Structure 1
Amino acid sequence: MLDFRGQGKGLALAVMLFGIGATAQAGESRLLYASLGDTTRAPIGWVEFCTDNAAQCQGAPTQPRDIVMSQAAWRDLIKVNRWVNETVKPLTDQEHWGVIEKWSLPTDGYGDCEDYVLLKRKMLIDAGWPREALLITVVRDKKGEGHAVLTVKTDKGEFVLDNQNESVVAWTETGYRFVKRQSQSDPNVWVSLGDTKPAVSTASARDQ
């Protein structure tokens, strides 16, 4: 059962959340949230996805809203992340659709990183999670390649659902370089993320 009511969960919950897979030192633990930069253009894959799936992209501008990270919410995130990762089989867009880049819900059971993200986002929204806290995010992975993950913004920090990791981890534990993501106030507005290193700010070559 999801809990968005803001009830205090105490120190035990905070320890539980950051103890799973966490090795952050005291200085790093303060980096609960990525720093936001200027607005930037949305990935072409998202724009084209919205053309074909308008219902998945609708949403009037709203106030930013984080979720309250209860133990039940934490379990839900782990369950959704693992189920989608285990159910959807990896397949590149070139192999799947014959094009370089295409974002789609993996209704046939196949997809690449963006498709995993879209399904996780949809499942959580359908379960009652606020859209404003579920942000599609473009990163550079450990190999420096474009990659997409789902950032979940909570009162305990930002956590990442990733098809390359069965665990849900704090954004600082991914080893990724964060480039840009959806704005909390509007899913069709994208913002750059604070990173001092130069990066190609897209998930695919078509966005360059």
Structure 2
Amino acid sequence: MSRIAAFFLSAALVFAGGAAEASGGLPTSSFAVVGGETSIPYGWIDFCQRQPQECSQPVLPSRDVKLDAATWRALNHINAQVNAAIEPVSNYDHWGTMLDHWDYPTDGKGDCKIYALYKRKLLIDRGFPRQALLMTIVRDHEGEGHAILTVKTDHGDFILDNLTNKIRPWTATGYRFLKRQSQEDPNVWVSFAGAAPVVSRAGVARINYR
């Protein structure tokens, strides 16, 4: 099956699944408890230096997505669309460096950060509030660093992940949550309750992403 055909099939299945779930009642999740400010990932700092327009943003009041059938379908569509459109490739194989590189998929390739950043951008372009779309750093099932997108809604916190087309409550991922962007300011990162990320001497958390 061609990559384009696979994308349309995947999108169709997600639309069908999302509509069925919405018609039977919207999903619910809990709200993650976050702590105080923590170190900013090196990749975000580097991304901001190359894409200053993406990071020179005003501080805004916290705001959650109002979850209804339409927004749930949109979230499922974007998650499946991006997962199908990007060819997975490691940071080193892609950029030829061990330094963490965050970017948009300008060449159609990338690792977890590229997926999450692009989902965030497409959702913002569709009118979702920036304050509800939070880049998030976790440890995956094998203890490796992994980036995902948290969507804060009035029904709880949900996760958009490049490893699955299923949007899950944050507690259903099996991940260890370390840090995410502040709702008010995307350039401020906050820890999760109980998380203790390792911080380098430069004050930037070093995580080797898969």
Smaller-chain TM-score range? 0.7 to 0.9
CA distance in 1, matches of 2:49, 2:23: 41
Pairing 1:175-186 to 2, within 5 Å after superposition: 175-186=174-185
Alignment of 1:1-208 (within 5 A): 15-18=25-28, 32-100=30-98, 101-195=100-194, 198-200=196-198, 202=205, 204-205=207-208
Q: Secondary structure at the match of 1:16?
A: coil
Q: TM-score, normalised by structure 1?
A: 0.82
Secondary structure of 2:118's aligned partner: helix
**Gaps spanning 5+ residues in structure 2: where?**
1-21, 200-204
Q: Is the 8 A contact 1:14 1:156 kept in 2?
A: no
Q: Distance in 2 between matches of 1:156 and 1:95?
A: 39
Distance 1:166 1:153 in 2: 18
Structure 1's 195 and 63: CA in aligned 2 closer, same or farther, altered over 3 A? same
Shift of 1:55: 1.4
Distance in 2 between residues matched to 1:118 and 1:135, nearest whole Å: 9
Q: How much does 1:14 deviate?
A: 8.7
Give the distance between the partners of 2:208 and 2:82, measured in 1 at CA.
26
Note the C-alpha offset of 1:204.
2.1
Distance 1:83 1:58 in 2: 27
User: 2: distance between equivalents of 1:13 and 1:174?
Assistant: 24
Change (3 A) 1:70 1:39: same
Q: Alpha-carbon deviation of 1:16?
A: 3.0
Equivalent position amino acid for 1:157 in 2: G
Gaps spanning 5+ residues in structure 1: where? 1-11, 19-28
Give the 3-state SS of the residue equivalent to 2:134 in structure 1. Answer: strand
Residue type at the aligned position of 1:66: D
Q: Secondary structure at the match of 2:26?
A: helix
**2: distance between equivalents of 1:53 and 1:107?**
13
Structure 1 stretches of 4+ moved >4 Å: none
CA RMSD of aligned residues (A): 1.9
Residues 13, 71 of structure 1: 8 Å contact kept: yes
Write the distance in 1 (CA, Å) between the matches of 2:122 and 2:57.
Answer: 17
Q: What CA distance in whole angstroms lies between the structure 2 residues aligned with 1:85 and 1:205?
A: 21
State the secondary structure of the residue aligned to 1:105: coil
**What secondary structure sits across from 1:86 in the alignment?**
helix
Q: What is the number of residues matched between the two proteins?
A: 182
Aligned-partner Cα distance in 2 for 1:138–1:37? 14
- Deviations, residues 50-88 of structure 1 (Å, cap 9, x unaligned): 000011112111110001001100000100001100110
Sort the Cα spacing of 1:156 and 1:15 in 2 relative to 1 into closer, same or farther, 3 A. Answer: same
Are residues 166 and 191 of structure 1, via their aligned partners in 2, closer, same or farther at CA, if it must alter by over 3 Å?
Answer: same
Q: Report Cα offsets for 1:25-49 as digits up to 9, x if no partner.
A: xxxx6xx111111101110000000
Query: What secondary structure is seen at the aligned counterpart in 2 of 1:17?
Result: coil
How far apart in 2 are the matches of 1:15 and 1:78?
15
Identity across the alignment (%): 47
Pairwise CA distance, 1:15: 3.6
